[in-house]
Amino acid sequence: MDASGGVFLLVLLLVPVAAAAALWYHHRRLTGIKEWAGRMGWSYVGSDRSLASRWSRQPFGTGHARRVSEALTGPFQGRQAVSFTYRYTTGSGKNQTTVTHHVLAMRLPAFLPTLELTPDGLGARLAKVLGGQDIQFESEDFNQAWRVVAPDNRFAHDVVHPRLMERLLRADARGLSMRIEGTDILCWSPGATRLDVIGPRLQVMAAVVNAVPRFVWLDHGYDPGTS
């Protein structure tokens, strides 16, 4: 047998080994996710198509073949929350690329205007140079750490008050991407589901919700004093 024949035989032998390893890894990962859900009192859902089209802004509303996997749902500090892996595809043919995000969402007690908070990094600075919005606040430290986008400037300033700015400058909040959209607050990051970040990120999201002033809730038909 010549060298090329040996390489071909080796490839034939390695393909089933690689496939078996992939199946084993997937099974082990899925088992770990289900065990985590059981310990936390959450439910493992797996796939939920409705989550792929529930929100319209980043990381949603772009690409094709949008799908959800590893979905988990359960309570967190009295609110219903969900965690899932979200994937979509860009390009076509040989130029296709799959983009993956870990998304967390928590239900709000009432519909609120959109408010997006993302890290003020290179991409955000470029967006601002090109005319993208960035609402400024009285804290320069906060302005340098966060980019805030909202159709309603008054709502943004009502919600992002000094106490919330101080909370969002803590280490566990820096670098997160979050958005209030309708009846949910979301947090997303590149990559598949990471169980170790679910609790800490939900804590930050809950802090944002808890910081919404009572008069804002009242303006949108909800009285937190009666809940």
At 48-66, the pLDDT tens digits run 999 999 999 999 999 999 9
Query: pLDDT above 90 covers what percent of the chain?
Result: 78
Question: Are residues 55 and 160 located together in one domain of the fold?
Answer: yes
Question: Are residues 10 and 80 located together in one domain of the fold?
Answer: no
Question: Are residues 78 and 151 located together in one domain of the fold?
Answer: yes
* Chain segment 179-222, per-residue pLDDT in tens: 999 999 999 999 999 999 999 999 999 999 999 999 999 999 99
Q: Which of 42, 45, 62, 40 is nearest to 53 (CA)?
A: 62
Question: Are residues 156 and 72 located together in one domain of the fold?
Answer: yes
The reported pLDDT for the residue numbered 225 is: 83
Question: Are residues 88 and 178 located together in one domain of the fold?
Answer: yes
Q: Is the pLDDT of residue 129 over 50?
A: no
Q: Is the pLDDT of residue 169 over 50?
A: yes
Q: Is the pLDDT of residue 168 over 90?
A: yes
Collapse the DSSP code of 24 into the 3-class scheme (helix H, G, I; strand E, B; otherwise coil) and give the result.
helix
Question: Are residues 37 and 85 located together in one domain of the fold?
Answer: no
Q: Which of 26, 41, 56 is the last residue of a domain?
A: 41
Question: Are residues 37 and 60 located together in one domain of the fold?
Answer: no
Question: Are residues 3 and 65 located together in one domain of the fold?
Answer: no
Q: Is the pLDDT of residue 77 over 60?
A: yes
Q: Is the pLDDT of residue 84 over 70?
A: yes
The reported pLDDT for the residue numbered 41 is: 96
What mean pLDDT is predicted for residues 7-26?
A: 58
Buried b (16+ CB within 10 A) or exposed e, 34-73: bebbeeeebebbeeeeebbebbeeebbeebeebbbbbbbb
Q: Is the pLDDT of residue 123 over 80?
A: no
Question: Are residues 34 and 146 located together in one domain of the fold?
Answer: no
Q: Is the pLDDT of residue 9 over 70?
A: no
Domain count, the chain: 2
Residue 34 belongs to what domain range?
1-41
Question: Are residues 16 and 71 located together in one domain of the fold?
Answer: no
- The amino acid occupying position 5 is G
Question: Are residues 27 and 111 located together in one domain of the fold?
Answer: no
Tell me if 151 sits within 8 A of 94, measured CB to CB: no
> How many angstroms from the chain centroid is the CA of residue 4?
47
Handedness of CA 187, 33, 88, 53 (dihedral sign): negative
Confidence category of residue 130, pLDDT binned at 50, 70, 90: very low
Question: Are residues 121 and 37 located together in one domain of the fold?
Answer: no
Handedness of CA 82, 84, 89, 90 (dihedral sign): positive
Q: Is the pLDDT of residue 227 over 80?
A: no
Confidence category of residue 160, pLDDT binned at 50, 70, 90: very high
